[in-house]
Structure 1
Amino acid sequence: MNVLKFGGTSVANANHIKLACQIAIEKATHERCIVVVSALGGVTDALLEAARTAASKNNAYIGMVDEIQNRHIEAIDGLVPAQAQHALRDHINQRMSSLRMLLDGCFFLGELSQRTADSVAGLGELLSSAIFAEAVKVHFPDCDLKDSRELIKTNNQFGKAVVNFEATNTLIRNHFNHSHARITVMPGFVASSTDGHNTTLGRGGSDYTAAIIAAAMSATQLEIWTDVAGMFTANPRIVKQARAIASISYHEAMELSHFGAKVLYPPTIQPVLAKGIPIVIKNTFDPDAPGTHISARPDVAGNPIKGISHIGDIALLTLEGSGMIGVAGSSKRLFEVLSNENINVIFITQASSEHSICIGIQSVDADRAKAAIDQGFEMEIAQGKIEPCIVEQNLCIVALVGENMKNHQGISGKMFSTLGKNNVNIRAIAQGASERNISVVIAESDVKKALNTLHETFFEDNVKQLNLFVMGVGNVGEKFVEQIHGQRKFLRDQRKINIRMIALSNSRKMHFDADGISLDHWKDLLSSGETAEKSAFIQRAKTLNMRNSIFVDITANAEIASTYGDYLAKNIAVVTCNKIACASAFENYIGLKNLSRKYNAPFLFETNVGAGLPIIDTLKHMIASGDNVREIRAVLSGSLNFIFNNFNDSNSFHDVVKEAGVQGFTEPDPKIDLSGVDVARKILILIRESGYRMEMEDIANESFLPKECLDTTSVDDFFVSLKTHAAHFNDLYRAAAAKGCRLKYVARFKDGKASVGLQEIPADHPFYNLEGKDNIVLFYTDRYADQPLIIKGAGAGAAVTASGIFADVIRMGSV
């Protein structure tokens, strides 16, 4: 004999019921089946809402009852031929008449007792089972309907009655030993007390009904048919990468179902566990999917972790004080106080010092629990031996579950390390001696990040997902997006890095998609996005609170640079080509570094110097390995190198600067490059990264621009001034050429002093043959004293700058 249970989504409407009936009929061709059905999806809630409405003396319940009745009539019309509906319609109408009488009573009395609530709540299953049975008979006549209330007997604890298994098992066996129907349809959830009152088995009790029957009849297996293909490694609504668990033990399933895996009602497992009856979780809408097989001996090979689950709306209560140390019975008193209030304790942890004990309960019970605890320990609190109960709200419990965890070292360490790297603060920890479950209490706001990052660590073959929030998609930004689009598959397959673009913004528009922006048509999405607003962009990134979040700044905007601290303090990494932050006041620079360390949020800015060249990264490795920088000589402006390599008697200085802008080598305002400010920022960053303290004003800037050029207030005026002073620039070129030299804009640091300025470079100098837009840096250090370490290559251009930013993002994959 096989027992099948169909949940509310599986019998939500006529089309769904047809699918469930087909499954039951197919099973019945091989062996006898008992089919337990839930109420039509949402009907139980609707029934109880109607009852509460009636009890509040609101006659809107009348219309609510009509809607419930109409929904069942619609199902009948879609399942049973018109000529065969008469008896079923009469049955439904009689049940609904009884409901109206009950609710009329609630209306006149102005109250809803738990006993009446049980009679109201159970009506949904009585209606759905009758409809289901008639729908089966249309195609498979050998089908009976049996009222579960006649077989399952309980006490009078209305709302969640306790089953009398001795009487129940006898009644079930007697009935099915005399019944020969191939399919027997029964309502779930409902039962009756030994004195004949309607009772229910608690929400989710239809699973329990099926398990009780399966255990009593020693069924071949219990099949739970729902709208998902089994129990998942995590909640698939929160963790998109979650997948169905193929095989799991009874104890693992109980742990996961207790911690929020809603496809299985926790008490379901208890009746079948003793009999060793396997449970299979199947998908009504994909019946060929294998589902999840629950048994005493599941497949234990491979991953010791079977799933990650959570319970939300948790409050943490802490009782502490010296009056608890060495005092026997303190814990007993605490739990008695809560038991007397009928408050369920979900989580317990106690310090070995006995100074405090911490418990987790549902948030809805927190105020009542605190009042009861403070009253129960009133004397000790008054004497100062124990502090008043401390309540923390807006928390949740995350649990790592696996039967085989006890045989694998380092699981808990890996869990805590994973959460810590994403700045998820753990408020409390509990692990049972069985080691099937490691539970932590965290902030409710961190649950999505926690579940996703743990799933990534334990289930996704070490694939690390990086979530990018990109601001600035001009020339460099567009190249950056293109490079990511082209390399995503390679990075996932070869580097185990999955990059998702969550947000894009330019100066006018911004677009967000928590599931990842499609890069095939990102320009269209951005152009139709919402109005760009810096504070809203930051707030959205914080609210989404995603794991491995990275803010990518591809602007030259000082206001944007001032926001880095806001991101870092929320564990959002920062990657930037914007030099302003690292070249700002030294205290701000150090502050950002400190925030990065404190909140475990990387702050990377390789492209601040040399675009895509690995200058800063090389420097960091030298310093970390114990080397000391003594002198730096460098040509750090690809734009200035391009300009002076192309400026000659045939090309005017004005035209060459214009061309540098067209090529994307200069900043939007070229005066930043030509004034030496950009180069000064770069050498300042290298000096600071070398371990020296210096401010921007400490750098001698020997400008080659006439004062009138420096004093211009717009880009257009600046270009006009370049034409006006053409003779000045021609003189600079001719003077150098006459000496056989080339003009290079050079930055230098030595003996604590730094300078930037235009120099005439002779033919035997390493800088002389520096072509195009190339940069070159010479590091003289303790180890490279006589022959410097030289880094040379393209130091400007959208593509190389974008590749440098991209490289910083990829570095995050190994952090």
Structure 2
Amino acid sequence: MRVLKFGGTSVANADNIKLVLAIIAQKAEKEPLAVVVSALSKVTDLLQLAASKAAQNDESFRDIVLEIEKKHLDTLKQLIPVSEQSALLSHIKRIINHLETLLDGCFLLGELSPRTSDTILSFGELLSSFIIAEALKQKLKNTNYKDSRELIKTNAVFGKATVNFELSNALIQNYFENNDAQVVLLPGFIAATEDGITTTLGRGGSDYTAAIFAGALSVDELEIWTDVNGMYTANPKLVKQAQPIATISYQEAMELSHFGAKVLYPPTIQPVLQKNIPIWIKNTFEPQAEGTLISNSVAANGTPVKGISHIDNITLITLEGSGMIGVAGSSKRLFEVLSNEKINVIFITQASSEHSICIGIQNSDAETAEIAINKAFEIEIAQNKVEPCIVEKNLCIIALVGENMKNHQGLSGRMFSTLGKNNVNIRAIAQGASERNISVVINERDVKKALNTLHENFFEENTKQLNLFVMGVGNVGEKFMEQIHQQKKFLKENLKINLRVVAVSNSKKMYFDEEGMSLKDWPSLLVNGEVSNAEAFVSRVKELNLRNSIFVDITANEKVAQLYEHFLKQNVAVVTCNKIACSSAYANYQNLKNLSRKYNAPFLFETNVGAGLPIIDTVKNLIASGDKVHKIQAVLSGSLNFIFNNFNENNPFDEVVKEAGIQGFTEPDPKIDLSGVDVARKILILIRESGYQMEIEDIENLSFLPEECMNTTNNDDFFKSLVTHASHFQQLLKEANEKEARLKFVAQFENGKANVGLQCIAKDHPFYNLEGKDNIVLFYTDRYVDQPLLIKGAGAGAAVTASGIFADVIRIGNV
């Protein structure tokens, strides 16, 4: 024999019930069945709401009754042939009339007793089981309906009654021994006292009802049919990558169900545990799916962590003070107070110093607990031996669960390290001696990030998901998006990095997709996005609070650079090619570096100097290894190098500058490059990364542009001024040719001083043969004295800059 239980979503409506009937009919061909059903989806909530409103003298409870009546009448009409509906509809209306009479009583008395509440809530299962039984009889004539209240007997603790198993088992066994029906249909959740007064087994009690029948009848298996493919490694609504668990022990299932795994009501396991009756968790909507098997067998070589679960709406209460040290009975008094107030303690931890004890309870019990505890310890509080209890609300408990965890070292450290890297603050920790469960209390706003981070670490073959928020999708940004699209599969398969672009933004529009946007459709998605707003962008990133978040700045905008501080404080890494932040006031540069360390949020800006060349990284490694930089000589502007390499008697200066812009070598405002400001920022960043403190004003800028060019306010006027002063640029070229030299815009640092400017470079100098848009940097250090360390390569262009940004993102993924 087998017991099947179908939950509220499985019997939510006529279409779902038809699936249930098909499953029952198929199973009944092989063996007799006892089938337990819940109320139709949401009906128990409606009954509770109606009762509450009636007790508050709110007439709207009648509308709720009408809604309940319509829901059941509609369901019956869709399941039963018209010719047989009349008597059944009348029966449902009689039940609804009885319900309304009870609610009228609550309305007139203005109260709702626990006993009346249980009776009212029982109507959900009574109605659903009657309809499903009648529908099943259309398929299987040998179907009986039995009211569970006649078989399951409890005490008179209404709301969550305790089962009298000795009496209940005898009644159940006697009924089934004298019953030859192929299927017995029973309502879940409800029971009765020995005097026949209706009681309930607690919310989720239909699972418990099924387990009671399974245990009493010693069946082969208990099947719990729900709307998911078994118990999952985490809540699939919060963790999209969660996977069904194939097999799990009774103890693991109890731990997970206690910590919020909604597919199984925690007490369910007790009646079947001693008799070693396996429990299957199956999906009504995918009956062929394997599901989860709960049994006594646990694979010795199975994964140490079976699941990650959580409980929301937790309050942490801490009682501390010197008056508790060495004083026997302090803990007893605390728990006695809570027991007297019928407050369930979910989490306990106590320091070995006995100076404090910390408990976790539901938010709804916080106020009652605080008042009761402070009253119980009022003498010690008045004598300053104990502090008034500290109450922290809106927290959440996260638990790692696994039978084999005790056989694996370092799981706790791995858990804490994973959370710490994502700036999830742990408020309290608890771990039992069995090591089957490691629980931590965290802020409720971090629960999704924490669950996903832990799941990624323990279940996804160490695949690290990076969530990118990209601001600036012009020439470089477009190439960056192309490179991500092209390499996404490679990164996931070879480096175990899963890249998701969650947001893109330009100066006009921004678009967010928490699940990660389509990389081939992002331009059209952005066009149809919302109006761009920097503050709103930051708020959305903060609100999403995703793990491994990276803000990618591909702009040259000062206001965007000012956002870095906000991101770093939220543990959001920053990758940028925007030089403004690192070349701003030294105090701001240092502050960003400090925030990066404090909040464990990488701040990478390799593309600030040399586009994709590893210049900054090289400097960092030199300094970290104990070397000291004394002198820097560099050509740091790929755009200026391109311009002066292509400028000659046949190519006017203004035309070459325009061509550099078309090829994406210059900033949107080319004057930034030609004025030397861009190069000054770059050498300043190298100087700072070399360990020196310097401001942009300390760098002498020997500009080669006429003053009129410098004073223009837009690109059109700037290019006109270049034409006007064409002879000036021709003269610079002539002087270089006469010296058999080449024009290069050079940045220099030596003896604490720095300058940038146009120079005539002789043939014997390393800079002379620098072609195209290349950059070159010479570092003279303690270790590189006679022959400097030389880095040379392409230093401008959308593709190489994008690849440098991409490399920084990958670097974060490999941390």
TM-score band w.r.t. shorter chain: over 0.9
Aligned to 1:403: 403
- Once residues 198 and 254 of structure 1 are traced to their aligned partners in structure 2, the CA distance between those partners, rounded to angstroms, is 28
Q: Is the 8 A contact 1:684 1:696 kept in 2?
A: yes
SS at match of 1:427: strand
- Once residues 641 and 678 of structure 2 are traced to their aligned partners in structure 1, the CA distance between those partners, rounded to angstroms, is 13
Moved more, 705-714 or 196-205: 705-714
- Once residues 239 and 656 of structure 2 are traced to their aligned partners in structure 1, the CA distance between those partners, rounded to angstroms, is 53
Superposed displacement of residue 695, structure 1: 1.0
Aligned to 1:573: 573
Aligned to 1:457: 457
Written as runs of structure 1 = structure 2, the 5 A alignment for 1:609-688 is: 609-688=609-688
Aligned to 2:725: 725
Aligned to 1:352: 352
Query: Which residue identity lines up with residue 82 of structure 2 in the other structure?
Result: A
| Structure 2 residue 776 is the aligned partner of structure 1 residue 776 | yes
Written as runs of structure 1 = structure 2, the 5 A alignment for 1:37-76 is: 37-76=37-76
Aligned to 2:292: 292
Q: Is the 8 A contact 1:550 1:573 kept in 2?
A: yes
Q: Is the 8 A contact 1:88 1:130 kept in 2?
A: no
Aligned to 1:310: 310
TM-score by length of 2: 0.99
| Structure 2 residue 118 is the aligned partner of structure 1 residue 103 | no
Moved more, 52-61 or 674-683: 52-61
Query: Which residue identity lines up with residue 259 of structure 1 in the other structure?
Result: F
Aligned to 1:78: 78
Query: Which residue identity lines up with residue 786 of structure 2 in the other structure?
Result: D
Q: Is the 8 A contact 1:470 1:552 kept in 2?
A: yes
Query: Which residue identity lines up with residue 559 of structure 1 in the other structure?
Result: K
SS at match of 1:372: helix
- Once residues 609 and 765 of structure 1 are traced to their aligned partners in structure 2, the CA distance between those partners, rounded to angstroms, is 22
Superposed displacement of residue 460, structure 1: 0.4
Q: Is the 8 A contact 1:680 1:756 kept in 2?
A: yes
TM-score by length of 1: 0.99
| Structure 2 residue 116 is the aligned partner of structure 1 residue 152 | no
Superposed displacement of residue 575, structure 1: 0.3
Aligned to 1:560: 560
Superposed displacement of residue 713, structure 1: 2.0
- Once residues 351 and 331 of structure 1 are traced to their aligned partners in structure 2, the CA distance between those partners, rounded to angstroms, is 12
Aligned to 1:477: 477
Aligned to 1:605: 605
Query: Which residue identity lines up with residue 248 of structure 1 in the other structure?
Result: I
Superposed displacement of residue 300, structure 1: 4.1
- Once residues 60 and 395 of structure 1 are traced to their aligned partners in structure 2, the CA distance between those partners, rounded to angstroms, is 35
Moved more, 75-84 or 793-802: 75-84
Deviations 1:39-98 (A, max 9, x none): 000001111111112222122222211111111111111111112223322321221111
Query: Which residue identity lines up with residue 588 of structure 1 in the other structure?
Result: N
Query: Which residue identity lines up with residue 45 of structure 1 in the other structure?
Result: D
SS at match of 1:498: strand
Q: Is the 8 A contact 1:511 1:530 kept in 2?
A: yes
- Once residues 617 and 75 of structure 2 are traced to their aligned partners in structure 1, the CA distance between those partners, rounded to angstroms, is 67
Moved more, 291-300 or 248-257: 291-300
Query: Which residue identity lines up with residue 643 of structure 2 in the other structure?
Result: I
Deviations 1:543-597 (A, max 9, x none): 1110000000000001110110110011000000000000011111111000000
Query: Which residue identity lines up with residue 9 of structure 1 in the other structure?
Result: T
Q: Is the 8 A contact 2:778 2:789 kept in 1?
A: yes
Aligned to 2:809: 809
Aligned to 2:549: 549
- Once residues 409 and 498 of structure 1 are traced to their aligned partners in structure 2, the CA distance between those partners, rounded to angstroms, is 28
Deviations 1:584-622 (A, max 9, x none): 111111110000000000000000000011111122122
Written as runs of structure 1 = structure 2, the 5 A alignment for 1:175-186 is: 175-186=175-186
Written as runs of structure 1 = structure 2, the 5 A alignment for 1:305-384 is: 305-384=305-384
Q: Is the 8 A contact 2:302 2:404 kept in 1?
A: no
- Once residues 28 and 381 of structure 2 are traced to their aligned partners in structure 1, the CA distance between those partners, rounded to angstroms, is 65
Q: Is the 8 A contact 1:8 1:42 kept in 2?
A: yes
- Once residues 180 and 748 of structure 2 are traced to their aligned partners in structure 1, the CA distance between those partners, rounded to angstroms, is 97
SS at match of 2:234: coil
Query: Which residue identity lines up with residue 548 of structure 1 in the other structure?
Result: N
- Once residues 618 and 10 of structure 1 are traced to their aligned partners in structure 2, the CA distance between those partners, rounded to angstroms, is 61
Identical-pair percentage: 70
Superposed displacement of residue 498, structure 1: 0.4
| Structure 2 residue 233 is the aligned partner of structure 1 residue 240 | no
- Once residues 300 and 27 of structure 2 are traced to their aligned partners in structure 1, the CA distance between those partners, rounded to angstroms, is 29
Superposed displacement of residue 134, structure 1: 1.4
SS at match of 2:478: helix
Moved more, 137-146 or 565-574: 137-146
Aligned to 1:429: 429
| Structure 2 residue 548 is the aligned partner of structure 1 residue 537 | no
SS at match of 2:276: coil
SS at match of 1:729: helix
Q: Is the 8 A contact 1:429 1:439 kept in 2?
A: yes
Q: Is the 8 A contact 1:577 1:805 kept in 2?
A: yes
- Once residues 181 and 88 of structure 1 are traced to their aligned partners in structure 2, the CA distance between those partners, rounded to angstroms, is 21
Q: Is the 8 A contact 2:675 2:703 kept in 1?
A: yes
Query: Which residue identity lines up with residue 36 of structure 2 in the other structure?
Result: V
Aligned to 2:589: 589
Aligned to 2:131: 131
- Once residues 310 and 123 of structure 1 are traced to their aligned partners in structure 2, the CA distance between those partners, rounded to angstroms, is 31
Written as runs of structure 1 = structure 2, the 5 A alignment for 1:405-420 is: 405-420=405-420
| Structure 2 residue 261 is the aligned partner of structure 1 residue 261 | yes
| Structure 2 residue 149 is the aligned partner of structure 1 residue 174 | no
SS at match of 2:501: strand
Written as runs of structure 1 = structure 2, the 5 A alignment for 1:189-208 is: 189-208=189-208
SS at match of 1:8: coil
Moved more, 526-535 or 292-301: 292-301
Number of positions where the alignment pairs a residue of Structure 1 with one of Structure 2? 815
Aligned to 1:743: 743
Query: Which residue identity lines up with residue 404 of structure 1 in the other structure?
Result: N
Aligned to 1:118: 118
| Structure 2 residue 511 is the aligned partner of structure 1 residue 500 | no
Superposed displacement of residue 700, structure 1: 1.4
- Once residues 141 and 479 of structure 2 are traced to their aligned partners in structure 1, the CA distance between those partners, rounded to angstroms, is 67
Deviations 1:308-367 (A, max 9, x none): 010011000000000000000000000000000000000000000000000000011101
Q: List gaps (5 residues or longer) in structure 2.
A: none
Q: Is the 8 A contact 1:468 1:499 kept in 2?
A: yes
Query: Which residue identity lines up with residue 683 of structure 1 in the other structure?
Result: I
Deviations 1:738-790 (A, max 9, x none): 11110000111112111111110111111111111011111122222222221
Aligned to 1:7: 7
Q: List gaps (5 residues or longer) in structure 1.
A: none
- Once residues 270 and 458 of structure 2 are traced to their aligned partners in structure 1, the CA distance between those partners, rounded to angstroms, is 29
- Once residues 431 and 508 of structure 1 are traced to their aligned partners in structure 2, the CA distance between those partners, rounded to angstroms, is 51
- Once residues 13 and 32 of structure 1 are traced to their aligned partners in structure 2, the CA distance between those partners, rounded to angstroms, is 25
Deviations 1:154-199 (A, max 9, x none): 0110011010111000000000011111111000000001121100
Q: CA RMSD in A?
A: 0.8
Superposed displacement of residue 226, structure 1: 0.2
- Once residues 86 and 578 of structure 2 are traced to their aligned partners in structure 1, the CA distance between those partners, rounded to angstroms, is 77
- Once residues 173 and 661 of structure 2 are traced to their aligned partners in structure 1, the CA distance between those partners, rounded to angstroms, is 88
- Once residues 31 and 299 of structure 1 are traced to their aligned partners in structure 2, the CA distance between those partners, rounded to angstroms, is 30
- Once residues 489 and 185 of structure 1 are traced to their aligned partners in structure 2, the CA distance between those partners, rounded to angstroms, is 51
| Structure 2 residue 272 is the aligned partner of structure 1 residue 272 | yes
Moved more, 518-527 or 381-390: 518-527
Q: Is the 8 A contact 1:777 1:791 kept in 2?
A: yes
Superposed displacement of residue 633, structure 1: 1.0
SS at match of 1:311: strand
Deviations 1:103-124 (A, max 9, x none): 1111111111111110110111
Q: Is the 8 A contact 1:456 1:464 kept in 2?
A: yes
- Once residues 300 and 508 of structure 1 are traced to their aligned partners in structure 2, the CA distance between those partners, rounded to angstroms, is 58
Aligned to 1:706: 706
